[in-house]
Structure 1
Amino acid sequence: MGRRNIPEVNAGSMADIAFLLLIFFLVTTTFQEDAGINRKLPPMPPPGVTPPIIKQKNLFTVLVNKNNDLLVEEEIMDIKDLRKAAIEFLDNGGGTNEKGEPCTYCKGKKDPESSDHPNKAIISVRNDRETNYKTFMSVQNELVGAYNVLRNREAQRLYQRDFTEMESVVADPQVDESVKEDLKEKMEVIKELFPLKISEAETNN
């Protein structure tokens, strides 16, 4: 019986094929990106500067436990009610700002037990390490949404357009720069009325 010749495998061709498959994989594969929160953080205080004392009534506390339950101002709250509660806190206007001026544009209850002024109002959020990402994002969205409701109101009063609409126009690369600069100035005025102050406390163990 004759000896069968075993065909040789061209190793060079296999390497070329593997390389082409790798390129195909890199080109066609979509890598999922985690959604983030676009937020400008405040600058660090200079060394040796003592942080100002914050009155408890100017602090709106939101705690999220490992079961994704919300404890807002020491009371159990559903996520759907968080935005309204935050708006009432921010818009209360129960006192004055650092200059001793009252909030003339606030439409809240003027409750002396709640926040003095939007410039003093701080929202403190603390999450448990086991809080899921969806709940974390939902809480953030509701709190930022509360600021946007109030900013839109004041933007309509002063400029007859929404603050969030201005943001969209400024972010549009096709809009003329002169238009953007004008809108940015108006947006800064609105931000001064309701400055976004959300404090991320250390995560609970």
Structure 2
Amino acid sequence: MRHHRNSEKVNAGSMADIAFLLLIFFLVTTTISIDAGINRNLPALCPTNDCATPATEHNVLRIILNDDNEILMNKELVSFREINNLVSDFVNNNGDKSCNYCSGKQLSTASENPQKAIVVLEHDRQTSYELFIQVQNEINKAYAKLRNEYSQNKFQKSIQELSSSELQDVKHAYPINISEPK
């Protein structure tokens, strides 16, 4: 004679509650990193309709990243290490001699003053994203260096120690004008 045993049944009524509580716990305790992206300020709206005045060519520094990940500045091949100094020299040139705080070489082929200097960063579709970001960082470092030197000379403070009005003065002296077409 065979004995049939009924298998023991597990009370699973509270399993759904436990799973739900674990799900809530992990959702609450997990941090989700959010990529900040690239911090850029868009230009203010133009109050008049004549804001599309073209810049003169010597006020524009064109940086082109080609599909071979080569860097061209105004159609000349440059190395990555040169970007910071070349951008700084271009912006701080003082070609029209109107800038009393600029220490540039006053070349006729570079910008007239920091307010008129525009850096154009162009790239090919095949340019590596890593190079694009590195070049942007070098451009920002050049502007940061110029702003910090201006802050030290005018206020005898680092840029982190400035008041908001002093910081606005520094930003006005060296505005960041970067154009990224495409």
Q: Which amino acid aligns with 1:118?
A: P
1:95 and 2:91 equivalent? no
* Aligned 8 A contact 1:126 1:200 in 2: yes
Q: Which amino acid aligns with 2:72?
A: L
Counterpart in the other structure of 2:73: 72
1:154 and 2:134 equivalent? no
Measure the CA separation in 1 of the matches of 2:129 and 2:31: 21
Measure the CA separation in 2 of the matches of 1:23 and 1:66: 48
1:187 to 161, 167, 176: 167
Over the residues paired in the alignment, what is the CA RMSD in angstroms?
2.1
Measure the CA separation in 2 of the matches of 1:130 and 1:29: 36
Following superposition, the deviation at residue 123 of structure 1 comes to 0.6
Measure the CA separation in 1 of the matches of 2:128 and 2:143: 24
1:143 to 139, 142, 146: 139
1:166 and 2:166 equivalent? no
Counterpart in the other structure of 1:126: 122
* Aligned 8 A contact 1:83 1:145 in 2: yes
Measure the CA separation in 2 of the matches of 1:137 and 1:71: 16
Residue range with higher mean Cα deviation, 71-80 or 46-55: 46-55
Counterpart in the other structure of 1:196: 176
Higher Cα Rg, which structure: 2
Residue range with higher mean Cα deviation, 119-128 or 37-46: 37-46
Residue range with higher mean Cα deviation, 20-29 or 135-144: 20-29
Counterpart in the other structure of 1:27: 28
1:117 and 2:113 equivalent? yes
**CA shift in 2, pair 1:189/1:21, >3 Å:** same
Following superposition, the deviation at residue 88 of structure 1 comes to 0.6
Counterpart in the other structure of 1:179: none
Q: Which amino acid aligns with 1:119?
A: Q
Q: Which amino acid aligns with 1:160?
A: Q
Q: Which amino acid aligns with 1:166?
A: E
SS of residue matched to 1:12: coil
Number of matched residues?
A: 181
**CA shift in 2, pair 1:132/1:18, >3 Å:** farther
Counterpart in the other structure of 1:176: none
Q: Which runs of 5+ in 1 are unaligned?
A: 97-101, 168-182
Q: Which runs of 5+ in 2 are unaligned?
A: none
TM normalised by structure 1 equals 0.78
Measure the CA separation in 1 of the matches of 2:166 and 2:48: 33
Sequence identity of aligned pairs in percent? 40
TM normalised by structure 2 equals 0.87
**CA shift in 2, pair 1:31/1:65, >3 Å:** farther
Following superposition, the deviation at residue 149 of structure 1 comes to 0.9
